[in-house]
Amino acid sequence: MLQGTQVTKADQNRALALSTIAFTACFAVWTIFSIIGVAIKKELSLSEFQFGLLVATPILTGSLTRLFLGVWTEKYGGRLVFGAQMILAGMATWALTWAHTYEMYLVAALGVGLAGGSFIIGVAYVSRWYGAGKQGTALGVFGAGNVGAAVTKFVAPYVMVLYGWHAVAQTWAVGLMAMGVLFYLFAKDDPELVSRRASGVKSPSLAEQFAPLKKLQVWRFSLYYFFVFGAFVALALWMPHYLIDVYGVDVKTAGMSAAAFSLSASLFRAYGGHLSDRFGARSVMYWTFGASLILLFLLSYPPTEYTVITKGGPITFALSMGQWPFVVTLFALGFFMSLGKAAVFKHIPVYYPNHVGSVGGLVGMIGGLGGFILPIVFGQVLDMTGIYTSCFMLLFLLVAIAIVWMHVSIRRMERAVHGAALDQLPNLPEMQEIHDPRTTAMPRG
């Protein structure tokens, strides 16, 4: 937000409320294939890979467009870009009902994916209404619009059972187009855009906006978001199908159970923003990755039978996770992923205050690509191994890589700043009282 620009509390509340509602509507549309995809899969007799590609295709469009939508929001303002994006995405969602072949569904799904580009528009728009000390909380509240995935999972199964999946697509399309019109009519241009127009200052060039993307740190943030957001989207799409196949439930029960994960991975994002403002985004990322490693290990363990040979004969027992323990564990995973999503985007306005659109667009794009790539890989690995929990094994490996890279990078930064002081520390805490830095300091270089 520009210094000296007069912004009232009412203006901030209006911008945040409209953006959050709009993002919720967009996310409900963006994940629509998690429910209607089940009906389409049965209708077209799709393989696991074809199903994974179908549900992931909207995620591809939503991811790739984030970079450009972020830049356009920096230049033209969120009011215009957000409104136009929702209207176009709504039109594409209605066009789904005209498809008759798998290829036509894929083409229509590309258009539906425009709804996913809404995130970076909202981030660039909302961040301009708040100072640095409040941006984490504000962006966390906005990001809670991920709950749109839960709205789809709660409501869409009932609409689909009563009226068919075409009714779901048409209802969601009308709702999104209406929201686009309302946003344009009632939202205000952000203070930076207003100030820039009044002073005649030109918008930053593309080269200036993309300059920070050369930094490795930006790509490290992108990997974090690949997990906390990309894996969230992938699981939100994959879980109804997973629950139906693994636990034999109907589509309504699967949708309700999967919605518990979407709720926890969305509603607590505002809390994650608050924690990031209070304790720092770095600490929240450690909590996220550490807890996720434990939870994903539990979810990864496939149903297994063991035979123990004893002197009285073999004893056989089995280990497996029931439906409700699975839902509870998934809910806990969603909670920590929600905190992580807020923490990642707390970093960006702080490190790159003048490049939120471009940097946030890249990070959001990479994260969104996780939502595209992972369902396809889930389906491919399942086809290859036949192990349903292989999707969680893959995510466990991803988190392990992310936490190692983060920790190594942080330690390098600390040593660059405090290297001489760290070298003066004893090798063990118990040696503090007898420590003589002149004789025990580690050689440098």
pLDDT at position 205 is 59
Per-residue confidence at 442, pLDDT binned at 50, 70, 90?
very low
Q: Beta 304-310 vs 313-319: how paired, if at all? A: antiparallel
pLDDT tens per residue across span 102-150: 899 999 999 999 998 888 898 888 888 887 677 777 887 888 887 887 8
Q: Rounded to an integer, what distance in angstroms lies between the CA atom of residue 318 and that of residue 241?
A: 24
Q: Rounded to an integer, what distance in angstroms lies between the CA atom of residue 8 and that of residue 5?
A: 10
| Res. 412: pLDDT tops 70 | yes
Residue 56 in contact with residue 116, Cβ under 8 Å? no
pLDDT at position 3 is 46
Lowest mean pLDDT among 26-30, 136-140, 334-338: 136-140
> 304 in helix, strand or coil?
strand
Residue 258 in contact with residue 239, Cβ under 8 Å? yes
Question: Residue range 156-185: average pLDDT?
Answer: 92
Residues 6+ positions from 210 with CB-CB distance below 8 Å: 71, 358
Residue 395 in contact with residue 93, Cβ under 8 Å? no
Question: Residue range 395-419: average pLDDT?
Answer: 85
Question: Residue range 21-38: average pLDDT?
Answer: 89
Please give the CATH topology (third level) of the domain spanning 9-418. Answer: Growth Hormone; Chain: A; (1.20.1250)
Query: Where is pLDDT greater, at 65 or 170?
Result: 170
pLDDT at position 81 is 92
Question: Residue range 221-247: average pLDDT?
Answer: 88
